[in-house]
Amino acid sequence: MLLKSPPLLGFCAYSGTGKTTLLTQLIPVLKEHGLKIGLVKHAHHGFDTDLPGKDSYKLRKAGACEMLVASAMRWALVHESPERTVDPVLEELLPHLSLDELDLVLVEGFKHEPLPKIEIHRPSLGKPYLFPKVPGIIALATDL
């Protein structure tokens, strides 16, 4: 059986430009149109998805290489890879999404990945455009 592969659309910009802000406004609009949206976000630094003191945090800190926590409403998988020195690429991460259940996957960051991207640019920040240095940019979103 072939799994459907939803289209990918990336959003790239300098840190602090408003990628997450734009996406938090865009996702509800897409959802109102009946689309099921997946999202992959790049984090430049380590991150935690659970809180110190919670059982899931304690179990992960005890040495579990993978920690899956589940409830009726959601589940989350945290995979530890402390020996890794480079960020994973989208090709490694996408299989962890339920691609056959999604209509579109939005990608925040991952600017050097080969996918169509919208560059977010705020002239007031004084940063240069990423286009044409970053591959795949097909459109520009700005606050002009």
Examine the domain organization and report whether 111 and 60 are in the same domain.
no
Examine the domain organization and report whether 62 and 132 are in the same domain.
no
Hey, which bits of 44-130 come out as E strands? 66-70, 75-79, 104-108, 117-121
Q: Is 68 helix (H, G, I), strand (E, B) or coil?
A: strand
Weakest mean pLDDT among 7-11, 62-66, 104-108: 62-66
Examine the domain organization and report whether 80 and 95 are in the same domain.
no
Average pLDDT taken over every residue of the chain:
90
Examine the domain organization and report whether 10 and 36 are in the same domain.
yes
* Number of domains, the chain: 2
Examine the domain organization and report whether 92 and 143 are in the same domain.
yes
Examine the domain organization and report whether 28 and 97 are in the same domain.
yes
Does residue 118 carry a pLDDT above 80?
yes
Q: For residue 104, what pLDDT is reported?
A: 98
Q: For residue 1, what pLDDT is reported?
A: 46
Examine the domain organization and report whether 93 and 112 are in the same domain.
yes
Examine the domain organization and report whether 24 and 91 are in the same domain.
yes
Does residue 50 carry a pLDDT above 90?
no
pLDDT in tens, 86-107: 889 999 999 999 999 999 999 9
In whole angstroms, what is the distance from residue 115 CA to residue 7 CA? 9
- Rounded to two decimals, the pTM is 0.88
* Structural domain containing residue 26: 1-42+87-144
Does residue 134 carry a pLDDT above 70?
yes
Q: For residue 79, what pLDDT is reported?
A: 86
